[in-house]
Amino acid sequence: MIQTDILIIGAGPCGLFTVFEAGLLKLRCHLIDALPQAGGQCSEIYPKKPIYDIPAYPSILAGELVDKLMEQAEPFKPGFTLGERAETIVKDEEDQFIVTTSRGTIHRAPVIAIAGGLGCFEPRKPPIDNLSNYEDRGVEYIIKDPEFYRGKRVVISGGGDSALDWTIFLADGVASEVTLIHRREGFRGHLDSVQKVMDLAEQGRIRLLTNAEVMGVDGEGQLQRLTIDHQQQGELVLETDHWIPLFGLSPKLGPIADWNLNISKNAVEVDTFDYSTNVPGIYAIGDINTYPGKLKLILCGFHEATLMVQSAFKRIYPDKNLVLKYTTVNGVSGF
Amino acid sequence: MSMIKVTVIDREGEAHELDAPTDMGMNMMELCKSAELPVEGTCGGMAMCASCHMYVKSHHDLPEKSGDEEDMLDEAFHVTGESRLGCQIHLAEDLEGLVVQLAPVG
């Protein structure tokens, strides 16, 4: 079990800055994030995009901002549980929260800060009615262990790097048969990967279907065949053992919706005095919260994090007085 | 302030006629959000999420899709020849009378 002072759900910019502000008050933090790396949207969606409204940075790439926030948090030694989604929150008899993740990791803390941004990033699922019947029965959205596909017939859908990379990997003596299906003629993704896939198709080592889309899944208890709509050839039926649709990730509010918090328009309602939710001890900061006048800006999330940790301190140490100390006086190591 | 009229058909089929300013650097995603229509605009208008996917139903001559927009529509579902990302449709005088329909959430 991981014990900390403030358990931060979401390791985006706002969650990372919370570590720093909490650190100044000698509060320790641990962060949970469903993504395998810290940085949230900044790392996952737009690491190479410049941001222009961070004070004192006329322009900074989102990925660089995350690196700098990590560096700023580092003296306070935050803990991380990455690649796991926070699933449940319960209270124990000592008034502490117990948070369990999708992989069963247990965390315990007197205060929770939800800095969940847009929610959890989850694979985009094609809109096929009976698709859920075949999930983990031949349909997988993430490749966890490529060995799982050894000697199997595999169909991959998508036009991005992950679709290209996995096609190349599985075609190299892993799967018995690999088909790549893409809606368009052209592929985005690295040029050398695109070239490799074209070469494999030419050599007959993979089947490449462009201008095609999977429209239906079928099988007895297990995926057996796909119905494909092909622009030139019309409807095709393809026998397969696995279908791996790789259409990127999109954010979903996810389990946060089940934590008895007041939710309005996919966001958690908070009191702007200290960004507390309706559940004492649980705060929400950054893009995940809402209040009159809310602006979804990183800048505003930093401010919210700063005020929130003051309130968290008083909750953890009700008898201690808090004095604002400036980092200019003692530096950061002084804390 | 210069205004044009555009129509947004929501996912229930209801048409909303909106006054759209053309001098504020706004796009269709932002216009829908400001009218409280159910458009997420998750990525903030960078053509990186497809949550503002819409179909252009009127015969307006829109600028060509950028590579980013094409790529993103690749990952979206329910894509047709009329598909565009709302955040890439910039409100301008020549879009007077534009009609769009919100694509299903997917």
Position B46 scores a pLDDT of 85
Label residue A74 by pLDDT band (50, 70, 90): very high
Q: Is B68 on the interface with A (CB under 8 A)?
A: no
What tokens appear for A221 in the block? 């208890």
Rounded alpha-carbon distances, angstroms, from residue A276 to A36, A208, A270, A273, B21: 28, 53, 5, 8, 37
Query: Do A320 and A217 belong together in one domain?
Result: no
**Which residues are A90's β-sheet partners?**
A98
Cβ contact A45–B48 (<8 Å): yes
Looking at beta carbons, which residues of chain A come within 8 Å of B50? 250
B16 reaches A (C-beta below 8 A): no
Determine how many CB atoms are found less than 10 A away from the CB of residue B25.
Answer: 9
Asked if residue A314 is part of any domain, the answer here is yes
What confidence score (pLDDT) does residue B41 get?
87
Say whether both A118 and A257 belong to one domain. yes
Query: Are residues A117 and A129 located together in one domain of the fold?
Result: no
Q: Do the Cβ atoms of A45 and B49 come within 8 Å?
A: yes
Which residues in chain A are closer than 8 Å to B51, comparing Cβ atoms?
250
A199: containing domain: 125-247
DSSP annotation string for B27-78: BHHHHHHHTT-S---TTSSSS-S-TTEEEE-S---PPPPPHHHHHHHHH-SS
Q: Give the residue among A247, A245, A248, A249 at the shortest CA–CA distance from A223.
A: A245
In chain B, residues with a C-beta closer than 8 Å to the C-beta of A127 are 77-78, 104, 106
Do A10 and A54 fall into the same domain? yes
Q: Which of A247, A278, A293 is the last residue of a domain?
A: A247
A161 shares its domain with A224: yes
Listing DSSP states for A238-289 in one string gives: EE-SEEEE---EEEE-GGGGGSS--EETTEEE-BTTTTB-SSTTEEE-GGGE
Whether B74 and A46 lie within 8 Å, measured CB to CB = no
Tokens of A78: 């935050």
Quote the tokens at residue B74. Answer: 């690749």
Mean pLDDT of the residues in chain B = 92
Q: Does one domain contain both A169 and A269?
A: no
Is A330 a residue whose pLDDT tops 80? no
For an interface test with B, the pick among A43, A45, A246, A253 (most B C-beta atoms closer than 10 Å) comes out as A45
pLDDT digits (tens, 9 = 90+) for A232-263: 999 999 999 999 999 988 888 899 999 999 99
Question: Quick check: B74 and A188 CB within 8 A?
Answer: yes
Average pLDDT (A217-244) is: 96
Q: Quick one: closest CA in A to B75, which residue? A: A247
Asked whether residue A235 falls in the same domain as residue A267, the answer is: no
Burial bucket for residue A304 (CB in 10 Å: 0-12, 13-18, 19+)? buried
Residue A139 within a domain: yes
C-alpha dihedral sign at A44, A257, A299, A19:
negative
- The predicted structure's pLDDT at residue A23: 95
Residue A93 has a CB neighbour count (10 Å cut-off) of 5
Say yes or no to pLDDT of A67 above 80. yes
Q: How many CB pairs under 8 A join A and B?
A: 48
Decide if A126 and B77 are in contact by the 8 Å CB cutoff: yes
Tell me: the pLDDT tens digits for A160-171? Answer: 889 999 999 999
Q: Where are the beta strands (DSSP E) in A65-176?
A: 79-82, 86-91, 97-101, 106-109, 111-114, 120-123, 153-157
Contact between A80 and A10 under an 8 Å Cβ cutoff? The reply is no
Clarify whether residues A33 and A11 are in a common domain.
Answer: yes
Subunit contact A124:B75, Cβ cutoff 8 A: yes
Question: Looking at the domain assignment, is residue A38 inside a domain?
Answer: yes
* Polymer length in residues for chain A: 335
Fold of B3-102: Ubiquitin-like (UB roll) (3.10.20)
pLDDT at A188: 80
> Do A235 and A281 reside in the same domain of the chain?
no
| Partner A contacted by B51 (CB < 8 A) | yes
Average pLDDT value over all residues in chain A? 94
Q: From chain A, pick out residues whose CB is under 8 angstroms from the CB of B77.
A: 124, 126-127, 247
- Per-residue confidence at A324, pLDDT binned at 50, 70, 90? confident
Number of other residues whose CB lies within 10 A of the CB of residue A188:
19
Asked if the Cβ–Cβ distance from A158 to B104 is below 8 Å, we say no
Q: SS3 of B97, please?
A: coil
Return all residues near A265 (Cβ < 8 A) that are at least 6 apart: A290
ipTM of the modeled complex: 0.74
Residue A335 has pLDDT above 60, yes or no: no
Residue that is last in its domain, among A225, A247, A269 = A247
The total number of structural domains that make up chain A? 2
CATH number at residue A178: 3.50.50.60
Instruction: Judge whether A335 lies within some domain.
Output: no
Which of A46, A186, A247 faces B46 most closely, judged by CB atoms? Answer: A46
pLDDT score of B106 more than 70 = no
Q: Would you call A127 and B43 a contact, using CB atoms and an 8 Å cutoff?
A: no
The nearest alpha carbon in chain A to B106 belongs to A127
Distance from CA of A45 to the nearest CA of B (A): 7
**Among candidate residues A227, A247, A267, the one where a domain is terminated:** A247
Shortest Cα distance from B66 to chain A (angstroms)? 12
On whether both A34 and A174 belong to a single domain, the answer is: no
Give the CA diameter of chain B: 37
Q: If residue A309 lies in a helix (H) or strand (E), which one and from where to where?
A: helix A298-316
Residue A118: what pLDDT?
87
Mutate which: B53, B71, B75, vs A, most A CBs within 10 A: B75
Dump pLDDT digits (tens) for B1-60. Answer: 689 999 999 999 999 999 999 999 999 999 999 999 999 888 888 888 889 999 999 999
**Separation of alpha carbons A287 and A300, rounded Å:** 9
Give the pairing type, strands A106-109 and A2-3: parallel
Instruction: Count other C-beta atoms under 10 Å from residue A46's C-beta.
Output: 18
A222 and A84 both lie in a single domain: no
**Which stretches within A86-178 are classed as H helix?**
161-171
A263 forms beta bridges with A268
Judgement on whether residues A138 and A85 belong to the same structural domain of the protein: no
Q: What pLDDT, in 10s, does the model give residues B52-102? A: 999 999 999 999 999 889 888 988 899 999 999 999 999 999 999 999 999
Interface contact B75-A158, CB threshold 8 A: yes
Q: In angstroms, rounded to a whole number, what is the distance separating the alpha carbons of residues A211 and A207? A: 13
Q: How far is B55 from chain A (nearest CA, A)?
A: 17
Given a contact cutoff of 8 angstroms between Cβ atoms, the answer to whether A285 and A278 are in contact is no
For Cα atoms B9, B10, B14, give the angle at the middle one, nearest 5 degrees: 70
Cβ-based contacts of B66 with chain A (< 8 Å): none
**Cα A298 to Cα A287: distance, rounded to the nearest angstrom:** 8
**Residue B76 or A299, more confident:** A299
